[in-house]
Chain A
């Protein structure tokens, strides 16, 4: 009796602890939403303006889909992924460098709760930025929404995958410059070489093969399929790759957190 009571009160406190951490993570980026939401939307719009102006009349990737329309889902997804990554990774590296991570480490929050709180906040940041770009883009162009279910699935899985990747990077990095290296040498190349600005069918065969090794390619292609109903490959393959990567990376993260890797010496 006594144990079952204390188990249920532990479960309740664990739930509230996780919820509080999630709320704090949300508030952390929302307080500085000018940098964390408005700035990435602005950047995406600049890309849109420049590339669509230069290429609209010269490139048609899919029949009946203008270049600007083609570009928008890719830009939305790229920003969504980058911001989901930035949210968890920058929160962790900052609180590690400042030392205030110990406030969370002292609490009875389980490693699963810790993971879910950071994950959920990253997903929301990604979705908010993505939605923002989508809404602003609608002012300029009509976008079809062929399969909203695919759009939502890839947005959720993509931001979840990159949020998780951000947690791994945040745990691993000990200094800001290590995190910057991670951003510049892993996240940026993966997002630019993923078919945001072009269809990979326009690449030489060798580079097409290389693109197939890039998980960002599947997220962007699947996401784009949701809008136009056409893509470079089947959305089911993309879904499999993205969901599989998300699952594998989540397991890795949970193992890192459970072992206390770099967080509990």
Chain B
């Protein structure tokens, strides 16, 4: 099957800044994919290149097998993009905007039912006739998402769709996006809420300084840090014998990595022998945030 997204040796320079340094990435049709990374990593740049809003310095990109440059019309028809910035057209209301957006993609009246469905699913029904300018920030975000979906694209890219969005909308929004994914749409998102990526996405790319530093299934990434984390607050510094287990520390607070719970006994007895008492203790699962910190530090 043709990959939904295929990117080869993609470089982007902004003047002296080398924003993307040879990115290779292939995303299969039907995937729910996360693109993670700290501010300035190059996520939005990558998305804007996919959308044809920027031109690559070198390398190639295809959407559903269509080259973003040579076959731009087919590539753009296949792609829906929710931009990171809250942009809107102050002259029109929500429904007008959505119809225009569908029209730009060659969809006429026959598409109106779909537009109504998006409006309904994103909780915009009572705002359909409200001018874009008068929507609250979260409502504008919903309208942006709706606009990206107006032509029912097979590949949907969401650049931080949940920034500034309340809990309730996040839930309904993800429910809707999940449904689209089940119906066969490929979903690619960026987010700074790692628990969102962990819960939703089957595969994750982590970017740093314009490069992909990890690309794997969510499960494999989580398995990179097997076992559990033991958070300790101690009355005195950690005994030397336990230093090998330290993942991070801050003053006398330590996070230790342990393979299984039998190791707990060992740690507790070492502490007792050294005369160090425990002020607080917590046993936690490794999550994506730990992987993130580990990979990016």
CB distance from B274 to the nearest CB of A (A): 60
- The CA-CA distance from A95 to B92 in the complex, in Å, is 13
Residues of chain B within 8 A of A110, CB atoms compared: 73
Is the pair B91, A28 in contact by a Cβ cutoff of 8 Å?
Answer: yes
B103 at the interface (CB under 8 A from A): yes
Kindly list 10 other residue pairs between chains A and B, CB separation below 8 angstroms, not including A20-B100, A24-B100, A108-B77: A10-B74, A13-B106, A13-B107, A31-B91, A98-B90, A100-B89, A103-B89, A108-B105, A108-B106, A264-B54
Per-residue B-contact encoding for A83-110, CB less than 8 Å = 1, 0 else = 0000000000001001110111111111
Is the pair A14, B101 in contact by a Cβ cutoff of 8 Å?
Answer: no
B60 at the interface (CB under 8 A from A): no
CB under 8 Å from chain A, chain B span 69-116: 72-74, 76-77, 79, 81, 83, 85, 87-92, 100-101, 103-108
Residues of chain A within 8 A of B53, CB atoms compared: 102, 105-106, 264-265
Q: Interface range on chain A: under 10, 10 to 19, 20 to 34, or 35 or more?
A: 20 to 34
Residues of chain A within 8 A of B54, CB atoms compared: 264-265
Candidates B79, B87, B103; contact of A102 at CB < 8 Å:
B87
Is the pair A16, B107 in contact by a Cβ cutoff of 8 Å?
Answer: yes
Per-residue B-contact encoding for A1-43, CB less than 8 Å = 1, 0 else = 0000010011011111101110110011001100000000000
11 pairs across A/B with beta carbons < 8 Å? Answer: A13-B105, A13-B107, A20-B104, A98-B88, A98-B89, A102-B83, A103-B87, A103-B147, A104-B104, A106-B52, A106-B104
Is the pair B88, A108 in contact by a Cβ cutoff of 8 Å?
Answer: no
A148 at the interface (CB under 8 A from B): no
Residues of chain B within 8 A of A106, CB atoms compared: 51-53, 76, 79, 81, 104
A144 at the interface (CB under 8 A from B): no
Chain B residues within 8 Å of chain A by Cβ, number: 30
CB distance from A72 to the nearest CB of B (A): 33
Please count the residue pairs between chain A and chain B whose beta carbons lie under 8 angstroms apart in the complex. Answer: 90
CB distance from B67 to the nearest CB of A (A): 13
Is the pair B83, A19 in contact by a Cβ cutoff of 8 Å?
Answer: no
Is the pair A265, B104 in contact by a Cβ cutoff of 8 Å?
Answer: no
Q: A106-B51, A108-B72, A108-B73 are in contact. Are A99 and B85 (CB under 8 A)?
A: yes
A240 at the interface (CB under 8 A from B): no
Q: A27-B91, A103-B89, A103-B147 are in contact. Are A264 and B100 (CB under 8 A)?
A: no
A244 at the interface (CB under 8 A from B): no
Candidates A17, A28, A31, A95; contact of B104 at CB < 8 Å:
A17
Q: A14-B73, A103-B104, A110-B73 are in contact. Are A265 and B55 (CB under 8 A)?
A: yes
Seen from chain A, the residues whose Cβ lies within 8 Å of a Cβ on chain B are 6, 9-10, 12-17, 19-21, 23-24, 27-28, 31-32, 95, 98-100, 102-110, 260, 264-265
Would you call the interface of chain B mostly helix, strand, loop, or mixed?
A: loop
CB distance from B63 to the nearest CB of A (A): 11
CB distance from B2 to the nearest CB of A (A): 14
Which of A14, A21, A264 has the most chain B CB atoms inside 10 A of its CB?
A264
Is the pair A107, B88 in contact by a Cβ cutoff of 8 Å?
Answer: no
Is the pair B85, A17 in contact by a Cβ cutoff of 8 Å?
Answer: no
Is the pair B104, A99 in contact by a Cβ cutoff of 8 Å?
Answer: no
Nearest CB in chain A to that of B12: its residue: A265
Candidates B55, B73, B101, B108; contact of A10 at CB < 8 Å:
B73
CB distance from B147 to the nearest CB of A (A): 7
Which of B73, B90, B92 has the most chain A CB atoms inside 10 A of its CB?
B73
Residues of chain B within 8 A of A95, CB atoms compared: 89
Q: A264-B52, A264-B54 are in contact. Are A13 and B77 (CB under 8 A)?
A: yes
Q: A102-B87, A110-B73 are in contact. Are A17 and B106 (CB under 8 A)?
A: yes
Residues of chain A within 8 A of B106, CB atoms compared: 9, 12-17, 108
- The CA-CA distance from A105 to B73 in the complex, in Å, is 11
Residues of chain B within 8 A of A28, CB atoms compared: 91
Nearest CB in chain B to that of A263: its residue: B53
- The CA-CA distance from A98 to B55 in the complex, in Å, is 21
Residues of chain B within 8 A of A98, CB atoms compared: 87-90
- The CA-CA distance from A102 to B87 in the complex, in Å, is 9
Q: A98-B89, A108-B73, A108-B77 are in contact. Are A20 and B103 (CB under 8 A)?
A: yes
- The CA-CA distance from A95 to B97 in the complex, in Å, is 14
Candidates B55, B77, B81, B88; contact of A100 at CB < 8 Å:
B88
- The CA-CA distance from A26 to B156 in the complex, in Å, is 30
Residues of chain B within 8 A of A107, CB atoms compared: 76, 101, 104-105
- The CA-CA distance from A103 to B146 in the complex, in Å, is 12
Residues of chain B within 8 A of A12, CB atoms compared: 106
- The CA-CA distance from A110 to B52 in the complex, in Å, is 13
- The CA-CA distance from A202 to B2 in the complex, in Å, is 72
- The CA-CA distance from A265 to B55 in the complex, in Å, is 6
Is the pair A108, B147 in contact by a Cβ cutoff of 8 Å?
Answer: no
Residues of chain A within 8 A of B55, CB atoms compared: 260, 264-265
CB distance from B174 to the nearest CB of A (A): 23
Nearest CB in chain B to that of A12: its residue: B106
